[in-house]
Chain A
Amino acid sequence: MNTQTSLNFRTNAAAAIKDSSLRKAMRNATETFGSKRTVAMASIDFEVLREKASAIRMEVINNLPAYIEKFTSNATAAGAIVHRAVDAKSANQIIAGILKDHDVKMVAKGKSMVSEETHLNAHLEEEGFEVVETDLGEYIIQLEGETPSHIIVPAIHKNRQQIGKLFHERLGMEYSEDPQALTKFARKVLREKFLTADAGISGANFAIAESGSLVLFTNEGNGRMVTSVPPLHIAILSVEKILPSLDELPTFMRLLPRSATGQMLTSYVSILTGNRKEGDVTGAQELHVVLLDNGRLEILKGDCREILKCIRCGACMNVCPVYRTVGGHSYGWTYPGPMGIILTTLLTGMANSYSLVDASTLCGACNDACPVKVPLKEMILKQRVRRVKEGYSSTAVSLGMGLFGMAIKHPLMFSTGETLASKFWSVMRTVGGENVAGRLPSPAKIPFSRRMS
């Protein structure tokens, strides 16, 4: 079980709503993602492709243990050392252990959401290793001491002024708000890290069972750097991110970048198969692959197992009206937006997450956007049902629902309720509050049904 102090979504969100620079950043992001995605999707048949992608992912999920075995066997044959980590603690310890064995001082790190989930950086730093995030967005938030607020663009909640100030204060760069100048400065600073790091740690978008390969979709080049320059490369990914063979990869090459950033394809797709072999001058001397469970095999047994199809594109949060308004930090854990509601609830437990399942208007835009057809809206509803069953619904709501349920079956009780509400509306307003009852019009003196008799 992932430990997490209980998060209060409403409190988190209320603070976010008042943050005008965050609102502006989220607006800019949503508009940009929206228009780019529309353009990108015009060049493929999205419905046909995502049906295909969904089927491929379900095939893997329905046979997951076999695919994990197959990947492990083939990756090992290619020269990788594969580790199974049952939970976050285990993964962190395995990785720290590998670094210790190799006398590593400094690690250059590529982006990995799973490493955020396990709090890998914090553990490694505690163990005395220097960890440098090399993805520009991750680097920015590492400097700031924050967590990512989006799974693709981690620093999306920050504007150029904030980043300019950060680079000026923390890196001694002459103040500039120009994204070009800031990026070029980061290139210079991080180049030295790539070329001298003792080890590289990366995530992976997919693991290919048949060839034992890892696949990374990146744009900046840092992913390529950390996986091929240092002598030691450790990749961490969660167990469900498997595709059967490289023949299935094109479908995801067509869907993932378009869904994530509106690009036809990322600048780089790296397919890494094992470590450096006889005759190679490319590849890490030693490659370790850490396959993380951390609750996924448990999800496999339940009625929301389709969430394991998720390919971490971020499309669902980009179209979510709630995410757009409050940003990623309000969700209180690693993954925000619709997929975040489901994963957080399933992986950290209902006791922690019960307020999070309210974070949806059930508009269904996420279902429409998902490139692997995860039924996100239906799963959020399932978690709400579960919340009631497990007793995490508030007493007031349960009482209200009980009364409501009775009134629905008894028209006389229903119309009496309407009459009372109308008569005592000023009281209802006070009880209900300005923000809820205050937004409703006063009830009609004569309800429609009475006009129909």
Chain B
Amino acid sequence: MKKFGHLILVLLVMLITGASLNAQQDVAFKKENFKGREKEMREAVNNIKAGDEFYLQGQYFYGQALQYYLKAYNVNPNNSALNFKIGYCYIYSPNKKKALEHFEKAQKLNNPDYKDVIYYALAWAYHVTLEWDKAIELYTKYRGTVDPKYADELKLVDKRIAECRYGKILMAKPVRVLIENVGGGVNTIYPEYSPVVSADESLMFFTSRRTGTTGKEGKNISEVDEQYYEDIYRAYEDSLMKKWGNVNNLGEVNTGTNDATVNLSPDGQRLLIYKDNSGGGDIYESVLVGNTWTKPYPLGRTVNTGFYETHASYSFDGRILYFVSDRPDPSYGGKDIFYCYIDDKGNLGEPINIGPELNTEYDEEGVFAHPDGKTLYFASRGHNSMGGYDLFKSEFVDGKWTAPVNLGYPINSADDDVFFVVSANNRHAYFSSFKTEGFGEKDIYRLTFLGEEKQFLLATEDNLLTSLDVSVSGKLIEQELDVPTGDLTILKGTVYDKITKKPLAGTIEIVDLDLGSVVSVFPSNSATGKYLVSLPAGKNYSVTASADNYLFKSENFNIPAASGYQEVERDFPLDRIDVGRKIVLKNIFFDFNKYTLRPESTSELERLVALLKKYPKLKIEISGHTDNVGSETYNKTLSENRAKVVVDYLIANGIDKSRLMFVGYGFSQPIASNESDEGRQLNRRTEFKVLAK
């Protein structure tokens, strides 16, 4: 607003005055023009005033303004100011082409007030309807009318021209996508928007302004815009029918005013919410405890300030929070993307501006950290946007963000394309849009990325020789494809008591075995025992489930780089700490035919040390086991030595040796067949057994 004052001022003055100086063509709302229809005229003027009240509140209210303006238009279609306003309202509606009709009418009415600015309006109408060349021509024409002293305005027009040029380039090579309405199980005649989905696309949260939303004092319609207040809803995907439905209101999460979805943490246990209770938008969070979402609480002061904080997203490991704010310092202009680290206790660190690679002098919005741990999606009015906000993505490679890539047409349009979440497998995205063929108002859509166009293989043949009876088929060229999919493993399952099968409120700890560092710690849900974690490829992980009074259980996931996307279901049945119970220590590794502990065993050993310290009466037996390759004596000795080095480690780390026994069983206690590689691998193991507690 501040930057482009001249143009905006010109538009507002005209809109408010409804000037109509050229009576010959432009019919002003004056008594002399409506003889015998004075009452109609008065009503029309009142409608214009009512429309203006909405109009002046900004683009989100243009829909309501339009209803009043059209009533006035029925009385007098030949008023230039009214046509002008209707045109602007249509620009922000799904029916953008109608804008052109009204701007052209305004131009024909030949009001000198609009002589120049109509070029801009027409250019904009062509811009939003993606007629790039006409838009560029008219913007250029308008530019010629701008006094050079209005540098900001010239800059604005130049940006619009640049947007059209980008749009032309992007539209020439459209991205192949399928866009589907997620259906009447979710969408209604009321607005639905801001969808967020769990990493495995089984669960969706979205915002709706439908009947029945939570209100206050018996009212659930906002006085500001006469629509139902925003509430957050949850929907599930029927995995068999592949349909979204089973929608329910999130209850306690919703308040008597507007409550809007922002993002869901990758484990699906924390929901970020936008609220604007104090005049400056803030980010709140609700946590799933058992089956209940807690009452939302605002994130700390490092995130929420007196400025607008409008969007946020957790990184795959929950260790970073990205958020959007229009705070001034440090800022590259408008709203910027910031981030802060989160410590082991969940405390938010100092906010850091993400930098000029992503932030521009224009607004950035709608940040979404993909579960692959490296890709950030966001919206920006800068970079090579084709108009309004466009969606971009950038990857964090070698310690810095790559140049943002415009997601292309038709994902982006000349309008605002802002909130967009991408499934963990990179195959789908969810967003909202106001389309004429929808259920009404904004609906939620699912977009499927189809990747590069698949070339068809055509078959031709020729009779190449006359001397012999041969026909030769044309050469088939096998195609190469570059359809990016996330190199990511989604690991999900349930933590439960091995005997009773009762779900456990446990902890899932992920350790990078090569670095020996904890990547993240997630809780399993206390009511269902369910957990979900994202494991980016290219690392060797240990994943350990633990719960109070239970023996921990660990698994090893070595996920090579470029292994693609996969979903793995792995339950963790935990043994209570009782005498006789035993577990396999799956993340203890030895060199081949040796009993030297490999460095990646450290985290498992530390876990064992912690367990023994937490339960000081615990006495255990560490046992070594081998496959049946080699002699019995050799294997027994090897397994005993391996058990002993584990015990030695525990003693060296403060565990009294009286609590520890070691034994080597060789291949006398196989847990799988020694006939296969897989079976032999299972048999080569280290176990511990509870001797006393």
A and B interact: no
